[in-house]
């Protein structure tokens, strides 16, 4: 075979392969176009999701990503799913990571309950953080833990160098042993104390049982006594006020008693009259005939 014929055969084979691949692709797209339904899902971000990425419904591949566009600060993703899939309001759509390399897939947790969405609705989706995002967020935390570990190591080294850590541990151990010994020595006493406390509790309960009515009557009597004392206190306050008024009048010389108290002359005259009256009574007792005259006719 000549060189020219070989070239012609190779060109024809390549052309046939190209036509075959184009035909298969066209038929596939035609088939998908006829058997898919497009759903619009809004995500806060996509994290590297691309068109033609897989869409899984409850773990089964049921379509792919048909388009991605930015809508304000959100991202709207068009999902081309087979026509047997109907998304409802109880369903959950999320961008999920597969594997350690961060491969993205749209995962649909399909639920048959809830009102169905229409193709004009925009469904709220969820972006799930993958291992790379979580590790990126944990970077500052890991740095902080490393810094804290270094500081703790430095502190431990300083304490061990001064010998204080060993002394503290020995002291703690000694204290713990003494506490255990004290508990062992006083275990019987503690048990007796708990028994006495239990007995006292039972006694108090027995004393109060069937005596609630008497206790109530006693409390009522105390309440009535308190009311009576309150009334007596009020009356004593009134009496105190009256006595204060009388004392004020006596001090100011009002009334007979006031004039008698505040006038020395009246006091002396009254005292002299009382003395004379006492002398007269004594003389009458001594000489009654002097003052009593009896005649019989």
What string of H, E and C letters represents the secondary structure of the chain?
CCHHHHHHHHHHHHHHHHHHHHHHHHHHHHHHHHHEEEEEEEECCCCCCCCCCEEEECCEEEEEEEEEEEECCEEEEEEEEECCCCCECCCEEEEEEECCCCEEEEEEECCCCCCECCCCCEEECEECCCHHHHHHHHHHHHHHHHHHHHHHHHHHHHHHHHCHHHHHHHHHHHHHHHHHHHHHHCHHHHHHHHHHHHHHHHHHHHHHCCCHHHHHHHHHHHHHHHHHHHHHHHHHHHHHHHHHHHHHHHHHCCHHHHHHHHCHHHHHHHHHHHHHHHHHHHHHHHCHHHCCCCCCC
Query: 0.75 exceeded by the pTM?
Result: no
Query: In the prediction, which pLDDT does 76 show?
Result: 95
Mean pLDDT by 10 residues, the chain (297 residues): 71 83 61 73 90 91 92 93 92 84 86 91 88 61 73 68 65 78 76 80 71 74 76 75 70 62 67 78 70 48
């Amino acid at each position: 075979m000549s060189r020219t014929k070989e070239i012609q055969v190779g060109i024809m084979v390549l052309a046939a392969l190209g036509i075959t691949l184009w035909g298969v692709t066209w038929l596939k797209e035609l088939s998908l176009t006829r058997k898919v339904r497009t759903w619009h899902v809004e995500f806060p971000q996509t994290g590297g999701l691309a068109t033609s990425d897989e869409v899984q419904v409850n773990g089964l591949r049921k379509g792919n990503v048909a388009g991605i566009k930015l809508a304000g600060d959100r991202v709207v993703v068009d999902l081309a799913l087979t026509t047997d899939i109907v998304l409802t309001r109880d369903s959950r759509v999320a961008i999920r990571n597969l594997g350690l390399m961060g491969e993205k897939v749209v995962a649909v947790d399909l639920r048959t309950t809830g009102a169905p969405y229409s193709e004009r609705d925009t469904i709220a989706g969820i972006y799930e953080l993958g291992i790379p995002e979580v590790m990126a967020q944990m970077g500052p935390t890991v740095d902080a833990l490393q810094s804290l570990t270094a500081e703790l190591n430095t502190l431990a080294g300083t304490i061990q160098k001064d010998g204080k850590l060993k002394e503290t541990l020995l002291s703690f151990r000694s204290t713990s042993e003494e506490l255990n010994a004290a508990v062992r020595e006083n275990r019987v006493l503690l048990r007796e104390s708990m028994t006495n406390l239990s007995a006292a509790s039972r006694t108090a309960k027995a004393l109060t049982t069937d005596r609630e009515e008497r206790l109530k009557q006693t409390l009522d009597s105390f309440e009535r006594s308190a009311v009576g004392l309150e009334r007596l206190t009020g009356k004593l306050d009134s009496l105190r006020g009256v006595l204060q008024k009388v004392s004020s009048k006596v001090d100011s010389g009002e009334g007979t008693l006031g004039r008698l108290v505040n006038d020395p002359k009246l006091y002396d005259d009254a005292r002299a009259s009382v003395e004379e009256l006492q002398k007269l009574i004594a003389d009458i007792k001594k000489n009654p005939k002097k003052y009593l005259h009896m005649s019989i006719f």
